[in-house]
Amino acid sequence: IVQHEYGLYDGRDGVSILALMARLTVPTMVVAHTVVGDPSASQRYILGEVCRMADVVVVMTDTARDRLIAGFDVEAGKVVVIPHGAATPLANPAFSSQRPNPATPRLLTWGLLGPGKGIEWAIDSLDAVADLRPHPEYIVAGVTHPKVREQCGEAYREMLVARATQSRSGSHVVFDDAYRDLESLTELITSADLVVLPYDSADQVTSGVLVDAVAAGRPVVSTAFPHAVELLASGAGIVVPQRDPIALGEAIRSVLTDPDLAASMAAEASRLASGLSWAAVTERYVTLAGEITDERARVAR
């Protein structure tokens, strides 16, 4: 099983993966994490060659599958969609009550921080719900991405803190950079009334944070990146345009002020959760691995 992400391998766009793939003699399954909609010539060539040398290519969304087939000339029969697994279990009611002020609505964004996460727009959107009482608190959990810190230090986080300070709602924004194991992360996610994913990218076909939020039964307000558009289409969340704090604020208000809407979103997220568990995802990989191994054996005979 070869995980493909352009930044994982040496050379321009991770070109060294081609030498690795060329030496493999066993049945090979490639998991393509990033399939850009408008690839450079180098990106198109490298991923196209990786897929050509693989027995099967796994992607996590229908959008990624369509892009591979249309933009990278990959055989349709070679591409299989298996969703991203969820690291967090379905919401535990015991967790959600463990809050200092349980009556105060809690918004949550978590993950490694860096430009493109769009958290500045979520901070700006709080002014649109400043009249709500009690005022919602917004938790931003996570450390700066190591590669971002190496190149730019803590500039993005510092910009966010300054933006929150200047906002009318700044006192309700909490930055949490504590390390969290799975249990602690699950407790944090399930304590949220609403998960906010304000990402700038319109190109993101895979988001583990999104999957974990849905698997934990949390309503989601997200910008319209491809994975969110697909996963939230049945009602587990609301999708808004990128870089639009007004639209983001309106969506947040609608969830926080309409208990029936929030309940229906949480119920749909819970319905989707079983298919997103790592147990369910693993079983699909095991089945697929058996199929390509059997096919190799059949051809060899």
> What are the pLDDT tens digits along the chain (301 aa)?
999 998 789 999 999 999 999 999 999 999 999 899 999 999 999 999 999 999 999 999 999 999 999 999 899 999 999 999 987 655 444 445 456 667 899 999 999 999 999 999 999 999 999 999 999 999 999 999 998 999 999 999 999 999 999 998 889 999 999 888 888 888 899 899 999 999 999 888 889 999 999 999 999 999 999 999 999 999 999 999 999 999 999 999 999 999 999 999 999 999 998 888 888 899 999 999 999 999 888 887 7
Q: Which residues pair with 42 in a beta bridge?
A: none
pLDDT score recorded for residue 299: 80
Residue type at 181? Answer: D
Whole-structure pTM value? 0.88
Is the Cβ–Cβ distance between 231 and 109 less than 8 Å?
no
Closest of 271, 272, 265 to residue 220, by C-alpha: 265
pLDDT score recorded for residue 97: 47
pLDDT score recorded for residue 69: 95
Q: What are 22's two structure tokens?
A: 């060329």
d(C-alpha 122, C-alpha 138), whole Å = 9
| Contacts for 167 with CB less than 8 Å, ≥ 6 apart | 123, 124, 126, 127, 173
Closest of 282, 275, 272, 110 to residue 190, by C-alpha: 110
Is the Cβ–Cβ distance between 29 and 54 less than 8 Å?
yes
pLDDT score recorded for residue 147: 86
| Contacts for 38 with CB less than 8 Å, ≥ 6 apart | 203
